[in-house]
Amino acid sequence: MAAVALPMESNPDTMNKYLQKLGVPDKWRMVDVIGLEGEALSWVPRPVLAIVLLFPLSDAYERHRAEQEIELQSKTPEVPKDVFHLKQVLSNVCGTIALVHSVANNTHQIELSDGLLKRYLNDAQGLDAAAKGVLLENTAAILDAYKDIIRSASHDVVDAEEPVNNHFVTFVHKDGHLYELDGRKSFPIDHGPTTPDTLLEDTAKVCREFIKRDPDNIGFNIVALVPSQ
């Protein structure tokens, strides 16, 4: 039987507990990005390995995604082989996928402990994005690890059957380019040149475009994977 996923909160404390349970050492952690302009970005510890954006699944966004998907399917973009991208199979699993994307694309810097995520990444080697998604669906222990954290916390559990109208995507640097990794898209999205030093600032520009499509919506939140201080 396929696993059932609980929707994830965009909460660094919860995410960090989950990452550590998956085998990410505590020298790396998620932190809030409180703004998308200069001074707020300067407060984020460096280096930034990945940025995760939570945003509302509005009609405006869905129109944009549909147009983008048609364009992607028509030209099949070239993506570096070391970009780890997986397709979303289950409902409510986009938060876990965002964290997997964040870590899997930075294993040259993150020394994973033997455990759930390291085993998944080893098993996923050589698979395409769809097969990676099915493998995650069948790796119930990864999804159960998040449930354990939520159920041991002092707040209410969001039911897996409740409709969720938000979505997580991840931004990473690979081979001099900024990639958006979204389990609902066929390919990683290349947003142009970036560097490890400018990843956060360049991602902030893309995040502002997301917000511009839904200027009246307040359902945006951003966290970054950074070194622990």
Instruction: Count other C-beta atoms under 10 Å from residue 111's C-beta.
Output: 12
> Are the C-beta atoms of residues 118 and 23 closer than 8 Å to each other?
yes
Tell me which of 85, 101, 167, 173 is the catalytic residue.
167
The first and second tokens of residue 148, run together, are 């354990």
* CA separation for the pair 110, 108 (Å, rounded): 6
For the chain, domains (ranges, CATH) are: 12-227 (3.40.532.10)
- Per-residue pLDDT of 136-147, as tens digits, reads 999 999 999 998
Using a 10 angstrom Cβ sphere, with 0-12 exposed, 13-18 middle and 19 or more buried, the burial of residue 47 is middle
The pTM assigned to this predicted structure is 0.92
At 226, which helix (H) or strand (E)? strand 221-227
Task: Name the 3-class secondary structure at 165.
Answer: coil
Q: Confirm whether 167 is a catalytic residue.
A: yes
Tell me which of 85, 94, 101, 207 is the catalytic residue.
94
Query: Which mean pLDDT values do the consecutive 10-residue runs of the chain (229 residues) have?
Result: 61 96 97 95 97 94 92 86 94 93 97 97 97 95 91 58 77 97 95 98 97 91 95
